[in-house]
Structure 1
Amino acid sequence: MTSPDGDFDDKPGVTIRCRDNPSVGVTFRDRFSFDADSVHYAVELRAPGLTARVAEVVAWIWDSDLTTFLEGLVADYRGWDGERSWQTDDRDLRVSAVFRSGGHVGLTWAVRPWPQAAGGWSASVTTWLEAGEQMASLTADVRSFLTEERP
């Protein structure tokens, strides 16, 4: 499930919760831009015993963005073989998708700040969503978040 989210100061955000275990999730928040070429945002992962945050993921307007990747998954709601993946240019956010019987999509969200630095860290969680409406809702929510539209 996805939900437009807002913290106490009403900043926009999106939370994705796993349909199989709602304590597993991903939140996009704290979006800002310096110019018309990019949008910056934080990604938070959580699961029992895990909380991880990358404070500044950068999306460039000339790249194939996360929304485009998610739209492709929505279009193939009947399923696909193997794994599909997308990552930011800086490789600090990676999303992998698999399809399982019963019409469910597993999205593995992996964060790795400073991927070139020695001694860095990484974390990931997997959220399972229904391939139809839940994936379409996620895509619309992420698009709205990244483009500053309100649902």
Structure 2
Amino acid sequence: MIQARIGSDHDFLRLTADGFDDGAPQYLLAELRLQGLSASVQVVHHYATGFADLAEFFQQHVNDWRGWDGVRTWESLERDLKIDASHQYGHVQLRVTIQRFQPDWGNDGWPATGDLTIEPGEQLSQIAQEVKALATGS
């Protein structure tokens, strides 16, 4: 089991890879934990890219650690995990949304959204390395 933890000791998004096929994970368990909130959802990989685009998303922020304009977004194929990233006040601000769709009996499912603050130096580099390892299964 390979994990990436994004955030602090108390507020974080934990991604756990599982269901490996040819070394790459078939899905991730995304767990959002914030003060007073705990939610999780299984995220299925994209058939063409796996989770390589998620690793590239975080590496792009490492490369631009001094900042960027606007909001950058990564979203899973099934839209059950979305991460918006912006650079504000010298930090990387992540807005994480996980949601479970249940389109039966008039039930639309549920969303859970929370904000995480990341230091743009060593903390962000460590996260990018963990997500890359998670995406490649190594």
TM-score normalised by length of structure 1 = 0.78
Query: How many equivalent residue pairs?
Result: 134
Gaps in structure 2 of 5+ consecutive residues: none
Contact kept, 8 Å, 2:17 with 2:134, in 1: the verdict is no
| 1:142 lines up with 2:131 in the alignment | yes
TM-score normalised by length of structure 2 = 0.84
Gaps in structure 1 of 5+ consecutive residues: 1-10
Q: CA RMSD in A?
A: 2.2
2 CA distance for matches of 1:89 and 1:121?
17
In the alignment, which of 68, 72, 81 is matched to residue 69 of structure 2?
Answer: 81
Q: Counterpart amino acid of 1:14?
A: A
Which runs of 4 or more aligned residues in structure 1 lie more than 3 Å from their structure 2 counterparts after TM superposition? 33-38, 115-118
2 CA distance for matches of 1:74 and 1:115?
36
Structure 2 counterpart of 1:127: 116
In the alignment, which of 14, 18, 33 is matched to residue 4 of structure 2?
Answer: 14
> How many Å apart are 1:29 and its aligned residue?
1.6
Contact kept, 8 Å, 1:29 with 1:43, in 2: the verdict is yes
Matched residue SS, 2:123:
helix
> How many Å apart are 1:80 and its aligned residue?
1.0
Larger relative CO (CA 8 A, sep 6+): 1 or 2?
2
Matched residue SS, 2:29:
strand
> Equivalent pairs: percent with the same residue?
30
In the alignment, which of 94, 97, 118 is matched to residue 82 of structure 2?
Answer: 94
Q: Counterpart amino acid of 1:95?
A: I
Structure 1 counterpart of 2:10: 23
